[in-house]
Structure formats: C-alpha cells, structure tokens
Amino acid sequence: MNKTLLFLTVLVIATCGLIYELIVGTLASYLLGDSITQFSTVIGGYLFAMGIGSYLSRFVERGVAQRFVEIELAVALFGGLCAPMLFLTFTLTNIFPVVLYGTVLLIGTLVGLEIPLLLRILQDQLKFKDLVSQVLTFDYLGALAASVAFPLLLVPKLGLVRTSLLFGLLNAAVGLWSTWLLAPVLANPMRLRIKAVLLCMGLLVCFAMGDRLTTFYEDQLYADEVVHATSSPYQRIIVTRGKRGFSLFLNGNLQFASIDEYRYHEPLVHPAMGRARKLDHVLILGGGDGLAAREVLRYPDVKSVTLVDLDPAITQLATGYKELAVLNGHALTHPKMRVINTDAMQFLTEGTGTYDVVVVDFPDPNNFALGKLYTTGFYKILKKRLSPGGVAVIQSTSPLFARRSFWCVETTLKAAGFWTQPYHSLVPSFGEWGYVMVALEPPGRHRPLPEGLTFLDEDTLEGMSRFPPDMAPLPAEVNRLNNQVLVHYYEEEWRRWN
C-alpha cells in the first residue's frame, strides 16, 4: 500500500468533513437566524456525533477496509446532498430543525467512523507513534484548508449547493480511488467500484444541474439574517433583519422593507383619502401587515376600518411580532379596527354594506388565483361596495418593470366602468411602483394631506400622476375571468427583468 497516497486520502476526507460541518452551520444561521447559537450547536452536535462514530468503530470487527470504503461513499452521498436537501426541507416543510440536526448527527457519525477505521487499516504498516502523528497531522491540515477555502473561495464562487455537491463528489472520488489503494485488503473491490462510479455519476448530474438548483434555492436566501420563519397553509412567511431595519417576504417575494415602506404606503392610502367625499367606513383588502391601516388611522374622521386578509398568520404577525406592531403603530389592535381573515372576493360577494374608501393591496398577479382579483369580474363586485362619492385605490405592480401589466389593470378598471387615475412613486426596495385610484364619478379634492407624513406633500402628490415616456400607457387587453391576460403579461414582463 502506498502510504503517502493514503495520507492524502486523510487530507481529503478531513477537508470534506469540515466543509459539511461549515455548510450545515451556515445554512442553519442563514435560514434560522441567530448565527452564534446555530454555529455553536451545529459544531457541538457535529463533534459529539463524531464521538459516537469513533465509539461505534469498535463494533466493526471484520472487513475493516470494506466498511471504510462504504462509509466513504455514504459520507459522499449524505454530505454531497446535504445542502440541496436542507434547502428543500426548509422550503417545503415545517420540520427543518429536526432534519437539520438529524443531518448533523448522521454526517458527524459517519465522519467520526472514518479516522479510527483508517488507523486500524494502517496499524500494521507503521509504528503507533508515527501513525498517530501522521494521520492527525493530515487531518488538521485538511481542516485548515477547508476553513480557509470555504468563506474565501467556495461560497462566493460556487454557492452552498454546488460546494456541497462538489465535496460529495470529491469524497466519492476518494472512495473510488481507495478501492485501488486498499485493493490488497478488500474482499470484493469491483462491487465497491461500481457503487462508487454510480454515486460519482449521480453527484455529477446534480452538480451540472447546480445552476438551476441554485436559482431555485436562491429564492430562499436572504441578504439579511432571518429572524422569523413560518409556513401558513397559504404561504411561506419570512422576516429578515439587517442594518437598515427589517423586511417581510411572502413566498420569497419582498412585501415591504421597514426603511422605505412609507414610500409605498403613503401614496397607496392618502390620495384616495383626500378625494373621498366621506371617510366613515374604510375597507382594506390584503394589507395584513397593518401598514396601510396605520396610514388610514391618521384621519380622525374615520369611524371604522375593516381589514380583510386571507391569511391569519400575517395578521397575527402584525400584532404579535413586536417590531412590526411598533412599525404599524399597533394599528390592528386599534378600537376602530375590525380584522377578518377570509377570502376577499367571497367577502365582497356575500356582504352588503358600502365603504367610503377601499384600499386594494393584494400581492402581484403572479398566478391564476391572484389574477382573478384583478379582473372586471372582481372590479364589478368591488364597484357595488363603494358608497356614492367613494374612492378606491388598487396597487397595480410596477409600471416600469411590468409596464403592460400596469396599464392592463388600468384598462380593466375602465372597462369595469370606473373613472381612473393612475399614478406611481419610487420605493427603493421595490423600484418604481404603480397605483390606480378609481371612483364612480370623477371625485373632487375634499381634504388636505394629514400632518406628519414623511414622503407626500402637495407637490409630490401632483407629480405622481405624470408618467415619463418609459412608463407611458401601453395598449392592453381587458383582464377578464375567462381570459386572465394579466397573468400572462405579468409573467412575461417580470421574466425579462429577472
């Protein structure tokens, strides 16, 4: 047996072992937040599992070399797939912590088995003092290599998913290679070789698809630390926090960033509030974060605000997550507020009362179910719930990134028989954002802007309805329940920007 090559094997497996540990630790702090705790528990758990592995190694009685190669391949499989698998678990399930620590224990145990077994394979070749000295030297050298390469080279160049797959591949290659190195002490090297080759091919395919996997998983990655993550039956809810405040993501789409949300919510609410004849009863559809409600509650004339949001998890977040509750001024627990968790379309169809102002703050029309909420069918129902002299406003995606989609919303509102006033504002976190104010008749101006706004003043208000040429009206079809053209426009236009 070539001892130098065997020590090289030690180097590689040590590197791989530490890399998996770093990947899992990074993922845990990415996705669960609180990096000190995550790193500390992952590293501790991993070392503990290695201890279990070392302990278990004594039970391997015969065929030590055979077991060693098999364990190599198992490490390659689980280590290589750990990043994609953990991302998937995070995206699709609520048992991420369980799977995370399960993975830590599994990989740690397998890695812990490696060195003791290797020591036993080599025990007849070297004196004990040389054996221990050389194996451990390479082991620690590998650890150094991993810890330097991981933050400086691997994560920035390859990302977590491909790093994980690459080292799985390396691990599997070492497994394959050791079937030759250890051939003299292996009972059936051919069988192991076939397994190793299959594994290499599998990981290679995953690695080649890494780009696609990465784009898929990137949606789950956030620039800032994740401080809250839950899944409701409707969506994945993530709150991240960074230097500039916190942000809410639903299914990976940014809903607001605390630093500039006022640039969205002030234009969403105040133009309509200024034009409505009365402000007695206000309805907010969507907007479960309570930020639009905060703006509405600036007007003492308002007697009641009804907020209809499908997902109770969002409205609970708006009251229960302290920083958001502070940001929305505890709007949802205000005595004038009534929060209803139900289907907005159902609510409008089944109810009877009318509202003086309706703020329609739905997510963008990126699927057919949401697309329904932007059709003439929906707007005709909305129209019936508007009081005489009432005004509604509809968030209408970006007139810059999705220009035809924006004008499609405006065209559709016109087709439903509304007077319309499209306008836009710049929200740095989103880009240029668009709104359409609608009424049954052209409304007058009934009241000035309230005190204490950060973004809107009279001049800004006036400027918002001017559209520069790159956002100017485009002809678009009317979005109806039976054609849903908007979903197609939207998908096509956003694809171009992403």
Partner 1 sequence: MASVELTRRELVAAFLGASVASACQRQQAPRPTVPGAIVDRAVDTGHKLRGGPLPRAETFEPVDVLIVGAGAAGLSAAWRLAGAGVKDVRVVELEAEAGGTSRSGRNAVSAFPWGAHYLPSPLEDRGPVMRLLREMDAVTGVDAEGHPSFAEELLIQEPDERHFYRGHWYEGLYLRAGASGKDLEELERFDARMNAFAAARDAKGRKAFAVPVALSSDDAEWTALDALSMARWLETEGFQSPRLKWFVDYACRDDYGTTSEHVSAWAGIWYFAARQNGQGERSDGFLSWPEGNGRLVRQLLSSLGPRQVEPNVLVHTVEPGEGGCRVHAVDARTGAPRAFQARQVVLACPRFVAAHVVAPWREARPTWMDAFVYSPWVVANLTLSGPPASRGFPLAWDNVLYESQSLGYVVATHQSLRQDERGPTVLTWYLPMAGEDVKAERNKALSATYADWEALVMADLLPAHPGVGALTQRLEVQRWGHAMVRPAPGFLWGEARRAAGESLGRHLHFAHTDLGGMALFEEANWFGVRAAERALSGLGRTSTSWL
- Stretches 170-178, 297-305, 373-381, 457-465: which one binds partner 1 (CB under 8 A)? 373-381
User: Is 289 labeled as ligand-binding?
Assistant: yes
Residue 284 binding partner 1, by CB under 8 A: no
State the binding string over 229-258 for partner 1 (x if CB under 8 A, else -): ----xx------------------------
- Of 329-348, binders to partner 1 (CB under 8 A) are 343-346
For residue 241, what are the β-bridge partners?
A: 225, 246
List Cα–Cα distances, 103 to 49, 85, 150, in angstroms. 10, 10, 19
Residue 349 binding partner 1, by CB under 8 A: yes
Cβ atoms 269, 328 nearer than 8 A: no
- Stretches 11-19, 22-30, 160-168, 377-385: which one binds partner 1 (CB under 8 A)? 377-385
Residues constituting the chain: 498
Nearest CA among 147, 67, 146 for reference residue 114 = 67
For residue 432, what are the β-bridge partners?
A: 426
How large is the C-alpha radius of gyration of the chain?
A: 30
List Cα–Cα distances, 99 to 39, 102, 229, in angstroms. 16, 5, 16
* Rounded least distance, CB 227 to partner 1, Å: 28
Cβ atoms 407, 474 nearer than 8 A: yes
Residue with token string 């005709």? 380
- Of 287-316, binders to partner 1 (CB under 8 A) are 310
User: Is 343 labeled as ligand-binding?
Assistant: yes
Nearest CA among 2, 5, 7 for reference residue 137 = 7
Instruction: Provide CB contacts within 8 A for 226, sequence distance 6+.
Output: 30, 31, 32, 33, 238, 239, 240
* Rounded least distance, CB 255 to partner 1, Å: 17
User: Is 235 labeled as ligand-binding?
Assistant: yes
- Of 163-192, binders to partner 1 (CB under 8 A) are none
Residue 369, H or E segment = helix 368-371
User: Is 344 labeled as ligand-binding?
Assistant: yes
Residue 361 annotated as catalytic: yes
Cβ atoms 357, 306 nearer than 8 A: no
Kindly tell me which residue out of 247, 375, 395, 425 binds partner 1, with binding defined by CB under 8 A: 375
Minimum CB distance to partner 1 smaller for 8 or for 88: 88
Residue 371 binding partner 1, by CB under 8 A: yes
- Of 479-498, binders to partner 1 (CB under 8 A) are 480-484, 487
Residue 414 binding partner 1, by CB under 8 A: no
Kindly state the tokens that stand for 158.
Answer: 């390859």
Residue 413 binding partner 1, by CB under 8 A: no
The one catalytic residue in 361, 364, 457, 459 is 361
Kindly tell me which residue out of 97, 245, 312, 377 binds partner 1, with binding defined by CB under 8 A: 377
Can you tell me the distance from the alpha carbon of 171 to that of 35, in angstroms, rounded to the nearest whole number? 27
* Rounded least distance, CB 136 to partner 1, Å: 50
Q: How many residues bind partner 1 (CB under 8 A)?
A: 27
Minimum CB distance to partner 1 smaller for 5 or for 481: 481
Cβ atoms 490, 366 nearer than 8 A: yes
Binding-site members for spermidine are 265, 289
Binding-site members for S-methyl-5'-thioadenosine are 235, 309, 343-344
For partner 1, the binding residues (CB under 8 A) are 233-234, 310, 343-346, 349, 367-373, 375-378, 380-381, 480-484, 487
Active site residues: 361
